[in-house]
Amino acid sequence: MPSVSLCPTNWIREDVIFFSQHGPFPAYLRRFPLSDSDYCSCGAIGTAFHYATECILTVSWHMRKPVPNFEPEWLKRVANNLVSRLKIRGIIKFISENRSFPASLALNIPAS
């Protein structure tokens, strides 16, 4: 059974938000009545993993998507890699600054 480490880390707010997946992600906010949808503006389920690997809105910070059975190992490697954590900080900053970004503008769909 996995256990929680009691050793302090040098993580900043953005790192904690991403790795805990408790933040401005539509899939998380939908669990509570804080969002009407769990979909990202690009049309996929808005999880932290989605923003880091496949969302068209965060392509500047993308990381290679692992095979599904290697996701836990991928998360460990990303957590221990400074360059990856800098990308994560960029993603969290982008999401926080563009929280009300309309889906119609993100997808270049004319509003009806």
pLDDT recorded at residue 101:
54
pLDDT for residue 106 is more than 50: no
Asked whether residue 103 is assigned to any structural domain, the reply reads: no
Asked whether residue 39 is assigned to any structural domain, the reply reads: yes
Asked whether residue 5 is assigned to any structural domain, the reply reads: no
Asked whether residue 102 is assigned to any structural domain, the reply reads: no
Q: Out of 38-42, 93-97, 107-111, which region has the weakest mean confidence (pLDDT)?
A: 107-111
pLDDT for residue 100 is more than 70: no
Domain count of the fold of the chain = 1
Paired tokens of 19: 């790795």
Between 111 and 46, the more confident residue is 46
pLDDT recorded at residue 65:
92
Q: How many whole angstroms separate alpha carbon 101 and alpha carbon 112?
A: 17
Asked whether residue 109 is assigned to any structural domain, the reply reads: no
26-47 CB burial, b ≥16 within 10 A, e <16: bbbbbeeeebeebbbbbebebb
pLDDT for residue 90 is more than 90: yes
In this prediction, residues 94-101 reach a mean pLDDT of 76
Total-model pTM: 0.73
Alpha carbon dihedral 109, 46, 62, 92, in 10-degree steps, equals 110
Beta bridge partners of residue 39, listed in sequence order:
45
Asked whether residue 69 is assigned to any structural domain, the reply reads: yes
3-class SS shares of the chain: helix, strand, coil, % to 5? 50, 0, 45
Give the DSSP H/E element, type plus range, for residue 55.
none
pLDDT recorded at residue 102:
42
Confidence band, pLDDT 50/70/90 cuts, at residue 42: confident
Domain encompassing residue 86 = 13-97
Phi, psi of 39 (to 5 degrees): -95, 140
